[in-house]
Amino acid sequence: MMEKIKVALAGLGSRGKDAYAPVAKLFPEKMEVTAIADIDRAKVEEVAKEYGIPEEMCFNSAEEMLKQERLADVMFITTQDRQHVGHAIPALEKGYDLLLEKPVSPDIDECRDLLKAANKLGRKVVICHVLRYTPFYTKVKEVIDSGVIGDVVTVMGIENVGYWHQAHSFVRGNWRNSDITSPMILQKCCHDMDLLLWLTKKTCESVTSFGGTYLFKEEKAPKGAAKRCLDGCSVKEECPFDAEKIYITNEATGVAHGKTHWPCDVLTLHPTEETVVEAVKTGPYGRCVYHCDNNVVDHQVVNLNMTDGSTISFTMTGFTEENSRYTKFMGTKGEIEASLHSNLITVRPFGKEKEVIDVSKLSDDFSGHAGGDKRLVEEFIDMIREGREPDRTMTTLEQSLESHFVALASEQSRILGGKPVYLKDVR
């Protein structure tokens, strides 16, 4: 019988604590969390109690954990974007294989440094491009690879971030400012860049991009908007971004309707109406969306020119009701429409009957990124237990970095007013 894999978890935010660690409860014969680290002591104490982790294996930061000799077989690194490589390279040097939260880094040199270190030390690094592991995109990949639509020539994709998600994560939240985190096209959309490259099996030659912050800035604030949502704002009733609506009264996301997980659990460790109201009154998530220190875009378009002459267009927008993705693949023999929101894949071979695939009937688990979170962790753990290289859906670090190079090239183009940027100059 193969031994279970011991996991050291660096970072107890939404991804580490709530998405990846719980997989140990689903597969206790495969995985055990044995060491944890976070700067929030309350989170450390709670996770330690939940997983039975002794005090000597609890640390106040990833740096403190990394000063120790190797504590486990692998490390999950789910700290903040600009900390990733600074934690990952020392972890590799300690002998850990890594599951590393995306993005690797907004710094291209750091991306290259990590790849060099992993290759030199012979360690495995898997990036959390979780959407690859979903039943939905696994099926899309299968249909494209079947050849039913021939060669893919044109792709049109959109990520609907959702108005409240944009306000939560990218205006008020941790990823609001690229100077301290990452550009939007990297942080949010390296998922999409990875999917588009993987699904089509194509390589990008150059990109152009346009976008900016259209709405979430002071000059767009309605007359009478308060600096905080609970400070007597006179436009509160008609404002869809009102924090009280998003975190308390909204049927889909509000704590008053029993929604105590994400996003409310980002505001407070134990969401109740009282704790969430207090967080909205005093914390960053109660700020007016027009009076924050955000600088990431709220809309962006990217055009990818591929090395084989095919093209891909991609749109990211925060101005949508739904929080999902839609992609249309157009080939020499047919087309595919893939809606993650409806879980439907519509295949239309030219001159033949269409086929509608309802992915919701192919699986009974769509939790956590449409089922991707759990499957990613399980496949990573299985790979380590079996001592094999990445295969099937699982990506190598080198492959994952290609999505980062495309995203960072796109950001360069956007800043340069849409000037083409060639990937050979970025890689």
Give the DSSP per-residue string, 39-91. S-HHHHHHHHHHHT--GGGEESSHHHHHTSSP-SSEEEE-S-GGGHHHHHHHH
Give the pLDDT confidence of 149-185 residue by residue, as tens digits. Answer: 999 999 999 999 999 999 999 999 999 999 999 999 9
**pLDDT for residue 375 is more than 80:** yes
Q: How would residue 1 be classed by pLDDT, with cut points 50, 70 and 90?
A: low
Collapse the DSSP code of 96 into the 3-class scheme (helix H, G, I; strand E, B; otherwise coil) and give the result: coil
Task: Report, as an integer, the average pLDDT of 278-288.
Answer: 98
- % the chain with pLDDT above 90: 94
pLDDT at 366: 76
* 8 A C-beta contact, residue 282 and residue 274: no
Task: Report, as an integer, the average pLDDT of 322-342.
Answer: 97
Q: Where are the alpha helices (DSSP H) in 146-267?
A: 163-167, 184-187, 190-200, 243-244, 264-267
- % the chain with pLDDT above 70: 100
* 8 A C-beta contact, residue 46 and residue 74: no
Task: Report, as an integer, the average pLDDT of 40-63.
Answer: 97
Task: Report, as an integer, the average pLDDT of 298-317.
Answer: 98
Q: How would residue 250 be classed by pLDDT, with cut points 50, 70 and 90?
A: very high
* 8 A C-beta contact, residue 92 and residue 125: yes
**pLDDT for residue 2 is more than 80:** no
The answer as to CATH 3.30.360.10 being correct for domain 134-216+294-363+397-426 is yes
Say if strands 421-422 and 74-77 run parallel, antiparallel, or are unpaired: unpaired
Collapse the DSSP code of 110 into the 3-class scheme (helix H, G, I; strand E, B; otherwise coil) and give the result: helix
pLDDT at 132: 93
**Hey, which residues does 349 pair with through a beta bridge?**
334
Give the pLDDT confidence of 111-146 residue by residue, as tens digits. Answer: 999 999 999 999 999 999 999 999 999 999 999 999
The H or E element that residue 303 is part of is: strand 299-306
Q: Enter the pTM of the model.
A: 0.94
- Which CATH class for the 5-127 domain? alpha beta
Q: Report the mean per-residue pLDDT for the chain.
A: 96
Task: Report, as an integer, the average pLDDT of 207-226.
Answer: 97
Collapse the DSSP code of 156 into the 3-class scheme (helix H, G, I; strand E, B; otherwise coil) and give the result: strand
Positive/negative CA dihedral, 362, 368, 373, 378: negative
* 8 A C-beta contact, residue 423 and residue 406: yes
Amino acid in position 288: C
Domain ranges of the chain: 5-127, 134-216+294-363+397-426, 223-286
Q: List all residues 6 or more positions away from 42 whose beta carbon is below 8 Å from its beta carbon.
A: 269
Q: How would residue 392 be classed by pLDDT, with cut points 50, 70 and 90?
A: low
pLDDT at 21: 97
- Cis peptide bond prior to 271, omega within 30° of 0: no
